C-alpha cells in the first residue's frame, strides 16, 4: 500500500505564502493498493479536490471508489462538493462511516444538508455519480482483501481511528483525538505493531494546556502513542492553521530528535507501507 497526503491542515484551509511546504488543504488521504492499482480515500477535506483532478489527469477509473470518514466536522467533508468523480455519471461512490456507536443516524443527510441550495448551487442528487451511503454497526469490515477496523476515540461529537491491513502490512490513521491527562490505552492497543502510524499533532504541549477540550493532541502525545504501540514509522498531521512552515520545520527537528522515524505530513507526500 502507498499512502498519499492530499490535505494535512486542521480546522480550516490556509493559503498564505508561508504555509506552502506543509500545505494548506484540510484532511484527505489516498490509499493506493499497488497490487491492483485501485485507490481508496479517507476523509474529504479540501484536499480531495486535487485528488479528483489527479485521478482524471492520470486517466484512472475504477467502477467504485470507497471514501471512509473519521468523523464529519467541516474540515473533513468540505471538499466533497468539489470532488470531480462525484459528477461522473459512470462513477459509483461508496461513502462509509465504519465503527460502532456513531452519533449520526443518517449518513446521507450529512451531505444533503451541506449541499442544499442555500450553501451550494448543485444539490447532492444532481451530482451525477451513484452514491452508496454505508453505515454498518461494525468495528471491522473487509472488502477486496483489505481489512479495515475502527475504534471510537475522544473528540467533540466523536471520531474514529482507522486501522487498514492488507497482505501483512498495516497502517493506522488517528486524527482529531484528545487523549486527556494520559494516553488512551485503547488506541495504543488498537494501533499495536503498525508499520505506519498517522497521528493528530495540532498543538505543542504548552498550547495543549490552554486548549483542553478542543479535541486534539500535542506532538509529544503523538510520539508517545508511537512509542507505546511500537509503530515503525510516525507521520504527524492536522497542522494548526496558525503554524507556518518555519514553525513546523522547527517542530519536526524537535520530534526527530526523540523519535527517529517520524516526519510532519506535507501535501503530496507519499509513504510506502
How far apart CA 223 and CA 49 sit, in angstroms, is: 30
How buried is residue 210: exposed, middle or buried, by Cβ count under 10 Å (0-12/13-18/19+)? exposed
Share of the chain above pLDDT 90, in %: 97
Distance between CA atoms of residues 20 and 135, nearest Å = 36
Q: Mean pLDDT, to the nearest integer, of 47-76?
A: 97
**pTM metric for this prediction:** 0.96
| Average pLDDT taken over every residue of the chain | 96
Is pLDDT at 150 greater than 90 in this prediction? yes
- How far is 268 from 16, CA to CA, in rounded Å? 18
Q: How confident is the model at residue 155 (pLDDT cuts 50, 70, 90)?
A: very high
The pLDDT assigned to 164 comes to 98
Distances (CA, A) of 87 to 49, 62, 82, 127: 12, 14, 9, 5
Task: In whole angstroms, give the CA distance from residue 138 to residue 56.
Answer: 33
Q: What is the mean pLDDT of residues 144-152?
A: 95
| CA dist 238 → 88, 118, 127 (Å) | 30, 29, 29
* Residues 2-272, CATH architecture: 4-Layer Sandwich (3.60)
The most distant pair of C-alpha atoms in the chain lies apart, rounded to whole Å, by 51
Asked if pLDDT for residue 181 goes beyond 90, the answer is no
Residue 223 to residue 239: CA distance in whole angstroms: 15
* C-alpha dist (Å) from residue 264 to 16, 118, 198, 237: 19, 37, 10, 6
pLDDT in tens, 111-127: 999 999 999 999 999 99
Exposure string over 137-172, b if 16+ CB within 10 A, otherwise e: eebebeeeebebbbbbbebeebbbbbbbbbeeebbb
What is the sign of the dihedral through the CA atoms of 176, 168, 272 and 147? Answer: negative
Kindly tell me if the per-residue pLDDT of 143 is higher than 90: no
Strand order in the sheet with 28-33: 130-134, 92-96, 64-68, 38-42, 28-33, 2-7, 270-272
Alpha helices in 179-239 (DSSP H): 185-190, 205-210, 219-229
Q: Given a cut of 90, is residue 263 above it in pLDDT?
A: yes
pLDDT class of 103 with cuts at 50, 70, 90: confident
d(CA 79, CA 49): 6
| Domain chopping of the chain, boundaries | 2-272
Terminal Cα-to-Cα distance of the chain (whole angstroms): 5
Strands 234-237 and 196-200 come out as: parallel
Amino acid at each position: 500500500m502507498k499512502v498519499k497526503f492530499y490535505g494535512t491542515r486542521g480546522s480550516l484551509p490556509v493559503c498564505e505564502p508561508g504555509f506552502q511546504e506543509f500545505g494548506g488543504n484540510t484532511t484527505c488521504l489516498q490509499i493506493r493498493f499497488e497490487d491492483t492499482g485501485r485507490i481508496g480515500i479517507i476523509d474529504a477535506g479540501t484536499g480531495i479536490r486535487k485528488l479528483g483532478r489527479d485521478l482524471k489527469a492520470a486517466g484512472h477509473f475504477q467502477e467504485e471508489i470507497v471514501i471512509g470518514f473519521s468523523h464529519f466536522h467541516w474540515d473533513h467533508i468540505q471538499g466533497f462538493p468539489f470532488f470531480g468523480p462525484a459528477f461522473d455519471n459512470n462513477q459509483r461512490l461508496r461513502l462509509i462511516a465504519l465503527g460502532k456507536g456513531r452519533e449520526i443516524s443518517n449518513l446521507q443527510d450529512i451531505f444533503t444538508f451541506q449541499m442544499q441550495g442555500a450553501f451550494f448551487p448543485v444539490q447532492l442528487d444532481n451530482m451525477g455519480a451513484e452514491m452508496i451511503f454505508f453505515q454498518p454497526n461494525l468495528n471491522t469490515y473487509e472488502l477486496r482483501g483489505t481489512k479495515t477496523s475502527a475504534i471510537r476515540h475522544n473528540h467533540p461529537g466523536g471520531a474514529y481511528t482507522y486501522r487498514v491491513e492488507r497482505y501483512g502490512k498495516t497502517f493506522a490513521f488517528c486524527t482529531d483525538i484528545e487523549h486527556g491527562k494520559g494516553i488512551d490505552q485503547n488506541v495504543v492497543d488498537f494501533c499495536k505493531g503498525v508499520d505506519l502510524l498517522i497521528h493528530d499533532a495540532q498543538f505543542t504541549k504548552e498550547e495543549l494546556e490552554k486548549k483542553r477540550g478542543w479535541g486534539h493532541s500535542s506532538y509529544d502525545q503523538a510520539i508517545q502513542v508511537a512509542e507505546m504501540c511500537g509503530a515503525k514509522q510516525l507521520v504527524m498531521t492536522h497542522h494548526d492553521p496558525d503554524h507556518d512552515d518555519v514553525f513546523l520545520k522547527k517542530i519536526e527537528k524537535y520530534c526527530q530528535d526523540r523519535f527517529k522515524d517520524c516526519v510532519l505530513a506535507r501535501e503530496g507526500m507519499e509513504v510506502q507501507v
